[in-house]
Amino acid sequence: MTVYALNLFDIADRDEYLAYSRRSPQEVAKHGGRVVALGQFSDAITGDIEPRKV
């Protein structure tokens, strides 16, 4: 069975996102998966932001 997961995280801190990006491929591989794409952190938005609805 093939499963694709898209994670949409609300991360406001660049260093936290970069730490996640470095760690995620190894963590996913531990469970038999593989990361096929990682996004790039372009900027952080803080304040009153409407939560995602998807």
* Cα 19 from Cα 28, distance rounded (Å): 14
User: How far is the CA of 39 from the CAs of 5, 15, 20, 42, 47, in angstroms?
Assistant: 14, 14, 11, 9, 22
Per-residue pLDDT at 19: 86
Upper half-sphere CA count for residue 43 (Cβ side, 13 Å): 2
pLDDT, tens digit, 9 for 90 and up, residues 1-54: 787 887 776 666 778 878 888 888 999 899 898 888 876 656 666 667 676 665
Per-residue pLDDT at 30: 94
Classify residue 53: in a domain, yes or no: no
Per-residue pLDDT at 41: 59
| C-alpha gyration radius of the chain | 13
**How many domains, the chain?**
1
Structural domain including 29 reads 1-35
Classify residue 13: in a domain, yes or no: yes
* Cα 1 from Cα 11, distance rounded (Å): 30
Per-residue pLDDT at 12: 63
